[in-house]
Structure 1
Amino acid sequence: MLVYRITKATYADRLVASGGAARWNSRGQFVIYTAATRALACLENVVHRSGEGLLDNFRVMVIEIPDTLPVVTIAPENLPDNWFDFQQYDACQRIGNDWLRMGQSAVLRVPSAIIPNEWNFLISPSHPDFSRIQLLRTEPFTFDPRIKG
C-alpha cells in the first residue's frame, strides 16, 4: 500500500517524526502522519497551516507500507461523539498513545477528521516493523494559489 505525506522539502528526505502533539498523539510521542491519497495529504496541510505557510517549498513523500504488515484500524463508530472536534483531542490522543504503548503494529489506520470515509495512516518509528516501511521517492508539490489556508 502506498501512503502520502506532504511536508516542507527540508524534511522530505527521511521518515522522521517530530514528537509534537497532534490529534492522535501527545507531545513526546513520535508518530509520522500520512494519508491514503495526495489530495487528503494536501487538505491536511491546508487545515493545519496558515495561508502564508503554504508558500514554502514542499514535497510529496511516497511511502510504501508492505501489504503483509499488520495495520490496526480505529473505526469511527468506536470513537466518542464529535471525536473530530478540537475539544476531543485528548480522547483521540489517548487512543493513539495506547496504540504506541501496546506496540501491536507499526501502522494505525484512523479516520480523517476532514473528509468522512477517508483515512490517514500513522506510522510508529519505534516499532520493530518500521524498518520494513520505505520512502520510495519524493515529488515536487506546490499548493495551488487559489487554496487559502
Structure 2
Amino acid sequence: MLVYRITKAIYADRLVASGGAARWNQRGEFVIYTAATRALACLENVVHRSGEGLQDTFRVMVIEVPDDLRIEVIGTDMLPTNWFDFQQYDACQRIGGEWLRSGRSAVVKVPSAIIGNEWNYLFNPAHPDFRCITLVGTEPFVFDPRIKT
C-alpha cells in the first residue's frame, strides 16, 4: 500500500517525527502522519497550516507500507461523539497515545477529521516493524494559489 505525506522539501528525504502535538499524539510522542491519497495530504496541510507558508517549496513523500504489515484500525465507532472537533483533541490524543505506548503495531489507520470516510495512517517510528516501511521517492508539490483559507 502506498501512502502520502506532503512536507517542506528540506524534510522530505527521510521519515522522521517532530514530536509536536497533533490530533492523535501529545507533545513528546513521536508519530509520523500520512494520508491515503495525495489529495487528503494536501487538505491536511491546508487546514493545519491555515494557509500560511503554502508558497514554500514542498514535496510529496511516497511511502510504501508492506501489504503483510499489521495495521491497527481506530474506527469512528471507537471514538467519542464529535471526535473531530478541536475540543476533542485530548480524547483523540489519549487514544493515539495508548496505541503508541502499547506497541501493538507500527501503523494505525485513523479517520480523517476533514473528510468523512477518508483515512490517515500514522507510523510509530520506535516500533520494530517500522524498518519495513520505506520512502519510495518524492515528487514536487505546489499548492494551487487559488487555495484560500
TM-score range, shorter chain: over 0.9
Deviation (angstroms), 1:53:
1.1
Instruction: Report how many residues are paired.
Output: 149
Deviation (angstroms), 1:95:
0.5
* Corresponding residue number in structure 2 for 1:99: 99
Runs of 4 or more above 3 Å deviation: none
Deviation (angstroms), 1:51:
2.1
Query: CA RMSD for the aligned pairs?
Result: 0.6
What is the rounded CA distance, in whole Å, between the counterparts of 1:74 and 1:51 in structure 2? 29
- The yes-or-no answer on 1:90 pairing with 2:90 is yes
Q: Which amino acid aligns with 1:125?
A: P
- The yes-or-no answer on 1:29 pairing with 2:35 is no
What is the rounded CA distance, in whole Å, between the counterparts of 1:52 and 1:45 in structure 2? 10
* Corresponding residue number in structure 2 for 1:116: 116
TM-score of the superposed pair, with normalisation by structure 1: 0.99
2:66 aligned counterpart, secondary structure? coil
* Corresponding residue number in structure 2 for 1:44: 44
What is the rounded CA distance, in whole Å, between the counterparts of 1:126 and 1:99 in structure 2? 12
| Percent identity for Structure 1 against Structure 2 | 77
In structure 1, runs of 5+ residues without a counterpart are: none
What do the CA deviations read for 1:19-77 (whole angstroms, capped 9, x no partner)?
00000000000000000000000000000013231110000000000000000000101
In structure 2, runs of 5+ residues without a counterpart are: none
